[in-house]
Amino acid sequence: MKTYDILTIGGGPAGITLAKILGGKKKVGIVRPEDHSMVYCAMPYVLENLIPKEKILKRDELITDSGADLIRATVTDVSFKNKNITFNDGSKCKYEKLIIATGATPTIPPIDGKDLKGVYTFKTENDLKLIETVIKEKKIKKAVVIGAGAIGIELAQALNSIVAECHLVEMAGSILPNLINEDFSKDAQEEIKKMGILLHLNDRVTQIKGKDRIEKIVLSEGVDISFDDNEGLVVFATGMRASTNLFNDTELKIGNQGIIVNNKLETNIEDVYAVGDCVQFKSGITHEITLGKLATNAVPMSRVLAHNILGDDRVYDGFFNGAATKVGSLFIGGTGLTEEAAKDKFDIVVGYSELTTTFPIMPGAKLIKVKLIADKKTLQVIGGQIISGSAVTDKIDIITLAIQNKLTVRDLTKFSYSAQPYQSFFPANNPIVACAENIISKIKIEKESQKTDEILC
Ligand SMILES: Cc1cc2nc3c(=O)[nH]c(=O)nc-3n(C[C@H](O)[C@H](O)[C@H](O)COP(=O)(O)OP(=O)(O)OC[C@H]3O[C@@H](n4cnc5c(N)ncnc54)[C@H](O)[C@@H]3O)c2cc1C
């Protein structure tokens, strides 16, 4: 039986990162069943015909060039006691250290009709293929996307470019509820309506009706969506659940959000680790278990683990959840806690700025709105949101760095930045600094009014 120093179940971003760092230095095996790992983030843009599908299929060499073996198989059993795994063809393989990187699977709420033909999820190459095929073959006219998180929104835009009528259903009162607050989502919602997508907020799918194939979607607010023969398509983008079925009935400890690990990504079983979407982890801000199924969390976890295996002593601090999306012509990003989430734990103060993406005198200058959320007591930055006519991830990342390093709003007022006519607002102002100053002035005004109140009393 072949033995690996490091055997990884899963060849997504987490598994690939491990292979890149450990391959050649240790005897590494990466197990995954699919023909290709994919750039999942770009799946909507394939559907939209903006890029060919081949461009999002990752090359096997990303794994094998490092010297790691790619084992194309499904793991059907793991014996932690004997330190071996069993593949779908019955063969086995031994490990010194096992890394679980099995990712996450889309979830569909338990409603009647969820198994009818015409209902899809959106994660794998096969999901993409099925949706592309059904659109072509059945000449789909109406599409319904359930869930207006980043994936749902990007998917709805893609489908809207293909079908005659596209609905987006969200049970919260605004889109992107885990990324931005209602005030910031208003512009994006306008943009969605401008594109012709029919947005249903504060609404839920309660039932899908049909004999064999979907015929009607029943919504909680009473406006049902009906499909004539074969013309409909429903895609659920309502979240992901850690893929941990393989470990049911084993001694591996699993929580509601995934496999339980410590800050060195060690599980409760010796020589067994877990990284990426299959893991349950805490917020780097509140230190409570939180959502965080992002490639930008999976990859850093794998880096921590891989370097520790090579002798380093790193820890993974938690999820900060910097993320972004694009809605029509708007780029939208958020990081840390939203106001809603922050209010549960902190007394918060929120600052705003509104400037332009370049010197306003330059051609093509676009609006940028920034929001910072801080803990009123310590003035520590705990969240940020941006909506802009150009890319926001660089600025979102600055705010994340501030949160990670426990910087205060006062620290941000001292932020030393660069300026250039095509790339920033005038040197007189930087949107993050302006936002921090806005918070400071709010605090000053509040203190002044408290003093006045005391004098008057
Ligand atoms: C449409 C879409 C858009 C997204 N956009 C973004 C984005 O913009 N930014 C961002 O940060 N994240 C984004 N994500 C999330 C990101 O793709 C995931 O967080 C990331 O893929 C997680 O990586 P992972 O390696 O942990 O898991 P996965 O990528 O899910 O990989 C898991 C691997 O494990 C394998 N596996 C599972 N069980 C077994 C088994 N029993 N035997 C063998 N192999 C097994 C799977 O086949 C797969 O290869 C997006 C996701 C989707 C679907």
What is the set of domains in the chain, with CATH numbers? 2-105+241-309 (3.50.50.60), 119-238 (3.50.50.60), 329-453 (3.30.390.30)
CA-based Rg of the chain, rounded to a whole angstrom?
A: 24
Distance between CA atoms of 1 and 84, rounded to whole angstroms?
A: 9
DSSP state of 259: E
Per-residue pLDDT at 449: 78
Place of tokens 């794994």: 63
Q: Is 296 helix (H, G, I), strand (E, B) or coil?
A: helix
pTM of this structure: 0.96
Is the beta carbon of 122 within 6 A of some atom in ligand 1? yes
Per-residue pLDDT at 457: 62
What is the Å distance from ligand 1's center to 102 Cα?
Answer: 8
Is the beta carbon of 172 within 6 A of some atom in ligand 1? no
Distance between CA atoms of 385 and 183, rounded to whole angstroms?
A: 11
Is the beta carbon of 243 within 6 A of some atom in ligand 1? yes
Helical spans, DSSP H, in 231-318: 295-309
Distance between CA atoms of 30 and 304, rounded to whole angstroms?
A: 18
Is the beta carbon of 16 within 6 A of some atom in ligand 1? no
Ligand 1 atom with the smallest distance to the CA of 155 is 1
Place of tokens 């005659």: 164
Ligand 1 atom with the smallest distance to the CA of 44 is 1
Place of tokens 């709003």: 409
pLDDT, averaged in runs of 10, over the chain (457 residues): 97 98 98 95 96 96 97 98 98 98 97 95 95 88 96 98 95 96 94 97 95 92 83 94 97 98 98 98 98 98 98 98 98 97 96 98 97 98 98 98 98 97 96 98 86 70
Residue 412's Cα: distance from chain center in Å? 26
Per-residue pLDDT at 222: 77
Ligand 1 atom with the smallest distance to the CA of 42 is 3
Phi, psi of 324, rounded to the nearest 5 degrees: -150, 165
Per-residue pLDDT at 314: 98
Nearest protein Cα to ligand 1, atom 38: 102
Per-residue pLDDT at 447: 81
